Amino acid sequence: MTEPRPSHVHGADEPPLIEDTIGRHFDARVAARPDALALVVRHEGVRLSYGELAARVDACAAGLLGLGLEPGDRIGIWSPSSTAWVVTQLATAKAGLVLVNVNPAYRATELEHALAQSRCRALVTAPRFKASDYLAILAELAPELAASAPGELAAARLPSLRWVVRTGGEPTPGTLDFADLPARATPASRARLGELAPRLHPTDPVNIQFTSGTTGFPTGATLSHRNILNNGFFVGEAMRLGPEDRLCIPVPLYHCFGMVLGNLACITHGSAMIFPSEAFDPRATLAAVEAERCTALHGVPTMFIAELDHPDFAGFDLSSLRTGIMAGAPCPVAVMKRVVSEMHMAEVTIAYGMTETSPVSFQSSPSDPLARRVSTVGRIQPHLEVKLVDVAGQVVPRGTPGELCTRGYSVMRGYWGDEERTREAIDADGFMHTGDLATLDDEGYCNIVGRLKDLVIRGGENVYPREVEEFLYRHPKVQEVQVFGVPDAKYGEELCAWVKLREGETATEQELRDHCRGRIAHYKVPRYVKLVTEFPMTVTGKVQKYVMRERMRAELARDEAETA
């Protein structure tokens, strides 16, 4: 009897890794086809060739250096999808700055944490987005801004922040308009931009993305040029992108899905980036695909569902589509089949990863059978190594669940300023421990079967219950709270909070939801709140979240049956 094969796989070693910076690689792409379409931002009426985009990027980069920013300085960006976002992403890379992605849904508490932990010297911000007044939130954190000259901010709560650069073209006290950045460039800063190019190294940090990681608290995953440039390239390879392709990008740019699987996948292949709207809108996405003859489309499953179920869906010509990526949450079989048949995306791929691995480790191929693309997350990407281990750290046999651990070029440099959490996540052998439970079959296809921790994935957004619990504990009536995920047909999972009030206190479920609404990101606000007097416990006093989850699942199913 033969021994079962171990769950340990290595990706191909061809094509070779790109050993270059994002700026130099972008310049080479521009030089090869300067007149090719690079960027379309439909809601802003912007269309730029690669040469035109490069001119804006260089002017912005020289302007940032002209502000006195130094290579290695952090600069935040808090904005929905826009031309300014794309230009800033590339300009910071060329200037040797580290771009700090701020989630557009963040409110004051989360913004303060992100800017303070990364010690940002500058922030590029939109004036507002949806129900969020960014300038008002910033004024709450830094009231000193209104009386400051641009570049001279000295805020008690944000001591590192000096510059606030706002988009939108309207004057705001204390801020510099984004359109005026090129005017801040000096002959010296332009010369310095050229001098920096050969001095920057592929392993230099270029991006910080805040994620709860494997620790439960928002921490900045620090990614290098080498990390994300190569991941964008290999993701594009899996989709078979080329210069003739046009990728519709309705996913947010603050996340790797937009800025890596979208922008960098296009840039490394000379493809065009098409942005249909500042935030996801199913009709705008369908309209962009038709008008721009997009050949590829990205989205989480809920986005594809919204597009397929839009009342005007049948009126759009989507025949130009062939590929794209569905990721961020488990893909329902029926949805995948409809995307292939009704949206003409016969070569759509599934991808799996995490921010700390730049992000993609596994991806399906257009040549994989549809059954494989639905039931698995594909096979390992080139130049990566993955093993599945048990609680003792031993590699498990094929077909046996184990924690997925990744090693290779994609693993982050670490959590910004947090060596302890970095050591917890990346072991001595360089493997990133994802916290996800997976299986590998004999052909190397990976299936994600669960999570070691209680991560909730709501519509593609990662939510760690402990972060929400800590916020609910701030309510004066709350004695104890447990947050967990329950199944949801639309978002995959929704948040549920079981709350035990302090003795003698009374409150409603709505009151507790209102405590969260507007103060933490909308996707972290529990949809379900249940007031309880006790929690299910083990004999050793540990809370049994899985029991709560099963009880809520049954309760919600019963309620649905009664209202049907």
DSSP 219-281: EEEEEEHHHHHHHHHHHHHHHT--TT-EEE--S-TTSHHHIIIIIIHHHTTTPEEEE--SS--
Structure tokens that stand for 309 in this block:
């179920």
Provide the pLDDT for residue 71.
98
List, as one string, the DSSP characters of 435-483.
EEEEEE-TT--EEEEEESS--EEETTEEE-HHHHHHHHTTSTTEEEEEE
Structure tokens that stand for 106 in this block:
């963040």
Ranges assigned E (strand) in 322-399:
323-326, 347-353, 360-363, 379-380, 384-389
Residues of the chain with pLDDT under 70: 1, 212-217, 329-330, 450-451, 453, 538-542, 564
Structure tokens that stand for 495 in this block:
């948040």
List, as one string, the DSSP characters of 489-528.
TTTEEEEEEEEEEPTT----HHHHHHHHBTTB-GGGS-SE
pLDDT single digits (tens) 43-58: 999 999 999 999 999 9
Provide the pLDDT for residue 541.
52
The two beta strands, 379-380 and 384-389, are: unpaired
CA angle 40, 329, 279 (to 5 degrees): 30
Neighbours of 442 (CB within 10 A): 9
Structure tokens that stand for 132 in this block:
């969020």
Provide the pLDDT for residue 160.
98
Structure tokens that stand for 121 in this block:
């010297």
Provide the pLDDT for residue 542.
60
User: How far, CA to CA in Å, does 286 sit from each of 294, 323, 341, 382?
Assistant: 10, 15, 16, 33
Question: Locate tokens 């130049």: which residue?
Answer: 383
Query: What is the C-alpha to C-alpha distance for residues 509 and 511, in angstroms, rounded to an integer?
Result: 5
DSSP state of 263: I
Provide the pLDDT for residue 217.
59
Neighbours of 421 (CB within 10 A): 18
pLDDT single digits (tens) 473-525: 889 999 888 999 999 989 999 999 999 998 899 999 999 999 999 999 999 99
DSSP state of 429: T
- 83-95 helix and 50-66 helix, angle to the nearest 10 degrees: 60
Question: Half-sphere exposure (CA, 13 Å, Cβ side) for 332?
Answer: 16
**Residue 347 and residue 363 in contact, taking contact as beta carbons nearer than 8 Å:** no
Question: Locate tokens 């909730």: which residue?
Answer: 456
The two beta strands, 37-41 and 272-275, are: parallel
In which element (H, E) is residue 123 found?
strand 122-125
Which domains are delineated in the chain? 22-279 (3.40.50.12780), 463-563 (3.30.300.30)
Amino acid residing at 499: V
Amino acid residing at 44: E
